[in-house]
Chain A
Amino acid sequence: MVLKAFFPTCCASADSGLLVGRWVPEQSSAVVLAVVHFPFIPIQVKELLAQVQQASRVGVAVLGTWCHRRQESEESLGHFLEGLGAIFSHEPWLQLCRERGSKFWSCKATHRQVPASLGAPGQDQVMLIFYDQRKVLLSQLHPPAALPDHQAGDATASAGGLAAVFDTVARSEVLFRSDQFDEGPVRLSHWQSEGVEASILVELAKQASGPICLLLACLLSLISAASTSRKANMLVSVFLDVALGLALLSWLHGKDRIGQLADALVPVADHVAEELQHLLQWLMGAPAGLKMNRALDQVLGRFFLYHIHLWISYIHLMSPFIERILWHLGLSACLGLTVALSILSDIIALLTFHIYCFYVYGARLYCMKICGLSSLWRLFRGKKWNVLRQRVDSCSYDLDQLFIGTLLFTILVFLLPTTALYYLVFTLLRLLVVTVQGLIHLLVDLVNSLPLYSLGLRLCRPYRLAAGVKFRVLEHEAGRPLRLLMQINPLPYSRVVHTYRLPSCGCHPKHSWGSLCRKLFFGELIYPWRQRGDKQD
């Protein structure tokens, strides 16, 4: 099998030395983590490796030699490096060599102990794969969504392959702690050997000359202290929420907008009530050319008109206090935009309370009518509803029962269009209000559950969230080993939102469209805020 050598791009220009890393036998791949330079004492190298192995639980070992020929006459170096193979025994022993000024490398992998049964030569073909150590260290691999019928245990087994490389680099962080300026016994070359990366917080704190820097430093420290991305997402969402709420607050309280709103509120409520009165007058006449039952029409119309009259008086009673109430409610926007939106939704519910009442009256009346009609229809056909057995049974009625039943049936049938029309009109109004409230709730849900921190991370540091890897074939010469560049394939935005989405605590109506239509037809009341599992009355 072809031997894959993962080589960090930062070590491509390093001086000659020993290759240190991990050997994965299942994939026949060698992950090179660092290069140990001359001079070194083999005992100290072995001690360092043992320390690293203990701290990180990664099987770090000396994999082979790295030779970077800067001058023409460094033949002795080659012989010296070959001798090292005897000191550090590793199976297979990797020898990478690079000429100065040449893009092509030469690689050899030799097996010391060749099994007697195999006639294969002691050398393997080597494939070089370059990887960016810093990006691979920081990135988090997201495997594709597992099939639903697999258990969690299967997923780790099938990950393998490249996930092992990512895992190795991430866990060997302790190897990258020292840089070239440290006075240690062994000189290593890796991505941090030019200088250990300073924490951005320390930099900000050093330059905290103004309050903005301090504020930024505090915010960043809070966010990065959040141990999981979920907490970071929630924190960022809360910050954005409060910031938007404060912006809304400043907009509301400037230029006496609250007063303008309060002045506009009562006329708007009056206007809505007037429109409802016009609607009822229209229904009491001949709406859309339909002929209604005059008496029932007048009764229902007058009943609802009186209701509206009560409502208008209630609004006028409240009008002097509206400005104060609105001012105090506006203050709540400092808790966040979502709070302000929820309060707006509640205000809409309160202001359209009369529509809700009308809907309930119309629905109950219609429901009673439908129940009566269905029961009398059964009587018509000589059947009865058996409450005990929950089924329809045949029943023999007396003549006078049948007579009264038929009379009532005809009365109800002829009164049906009137009731049905009132029910239809008020149900449509109620559904309109429910839609508006639902849209506000959707907006609140969106602000709460959008993972802004993860989206920002995907935008600014795309290598942190990886969906996989991609390879690019570098210049190839026949006879030389194949060279590939491994880059990180970032996660698409849709998957970021899907994976890191916060659970929204909004109540989504769990009814399907079919059950909704059924309820509307039979006049059952619709409660949009009730979940499916709740007790029904």
Chain B
Amino acid sequence: SLRSLTAVTCTVWLAAYGLFTLCENSMILSAAIFITLLGLLGYLHFVKIDQETLLIIDSLGIQMTSSYASGKESTTFIEMGKVKDLVINEAIYMQKVIYYLCILLKDPVEPHGISQVVPVFQSAKPRLDCLIEVYRSCQEILAHQKATSASP
């Protein structure tokens, strides 16, 4: 957020200025500016996620994309054959209960088991009403997919 960004920049520059008044070396100031710029670029490219997308294609699979502020996109695709179900999980975190949407993957060894739980929208963390809308649309598609794959 803007507040934390401003706070970090101010602390770094104040510390650099303090060091400068001690050592009288102007390299410290330019080094502080350089470090701040690099840190900002790194934050935009690796940390700040602008948009998260979930794409479900019937009979193909589920694709999750996160696009970062610098334009980088990281994509994960899970084939429909590996997907068991899509559920909203409840978790108790400190003093509150949070809800998150997650994909359950099939276990190749055990037919009724689950091998992995993949959470979706990790950065956006939408609230329950939003999650329920997404859940309903996804379940329509998954139900249709299961119906067609059951009949050869």
Contact = CB atoms under 8 A, between A and B. Distances in A.
Contacts of B55: 471, 473
B72 to A, nearest CB: 12
Contacts of A127: 57, 59-60
Name the residue among A4, A469, A473, A482 with the largest chain B CB count within 10 angstroms: A469
Q: Describe A's contact surface by its main secondary structure.
A: mixed
A534 B143 CA distance: 60
B50 interface: no
B109 A489 contact: no
B60 A4 contact: yes
B77 interface: yes
Interface string A217-239: 00000000000000000000000
A2 interface: yes
Contact of A470 (B59, B63, B82): B63
Given A1-B149, A2-B59, A4-B59, A489 B77 contact: yes
A267 interface: no
Contacts of B79: 160-162
Contacts of A2: 58-59, 148
Contact of A468 (B58, B65, B76, B115): B76
Name the residue among A4, A149, A470 with the largest chain B CB count within 10 angstroms: A470
Interface string B44-77: 0000000000010111110101000000000111
Nearest to A161: B79
A469 B75 CA distance: 9
A158 B63 contact: no
B151 to A, nearest CB: 8
Nearest to B149: A1
Contacts of A28: 59
A471 B58 CA distance: 13
B119 interface: no
A470 B108 contact: no
A183 interface: no
Given A147-B115, A150-B108, A158-B108, A468 B77 contact: yes
Interface residues of B, number: 19
Interface in A142-168: 147, 149-150, 154, 157-158, 160-162
A161 to B, nearest CB: 5
Given A150-B108, A158-B108, A489-B75, A1 B81 contact: no
Contact of A1 (B59, B63, B65): B59
A484 interface: yes
B108 A471 contact: no
B77 A154 contact: no
Interface in A1-40: 1-2, 4, 28
Nearest to B107: A147
A161 B65 CA distance: 20
Contacts of B57: 127, 471, 482, 484
B78 to A, nearest CB: 9
Interface string A157-181: 1101110000000000000000000
Interface in A89-138: 127, 129
A473 B53 CA distance: 13
Contacts of A469: 77
A158 B149 contact: no
Contacts of A473: 55
B14 to A, nearest CB: 35
Nearest to A467: B76
Contacts of B109: 149-150, 154
A181 B61 CA distance: 40
A152 to B, nearest CB: 13
Contacts of A147: 115
Contacts of B149: 1
Given A1-B148, A150-B108, A471 B63 contact: yes
Nearest to A482: B57
Interface string B76-89: 11010110000000
Contact of B77 (A1, A4, A158, A471): A471
B130 to A, nearest CB: 22
Interface string A427-443: 00000000000000000
A162 B77 CA distance: 11
Nearest to B144: A2
B81 A160 contact: yes
Contacts of B58: 2
A489 B61 CA distance: 15
Contacts of A157: 108
- Smallest CB-CB A-B distances: 7 pairs: A470-B75, A161-B79, A2-B59, A158-B108, A1-B148, A468-B77, A154-B108
7 contacts: A147-B115, A149-B109, A161-B61, A161-B81, A468-B77, A484-B57, A489-B75
Interface of A: 1-2, 4, 28, 127, 129, 147, 149-150, 154, 157-158, 160-162, 468-471, 473, 482, 484, 489
Given A470-B63, A484-B57, 4 more contacts: A147-B115, A149-B109, A160-B79, A468-B76
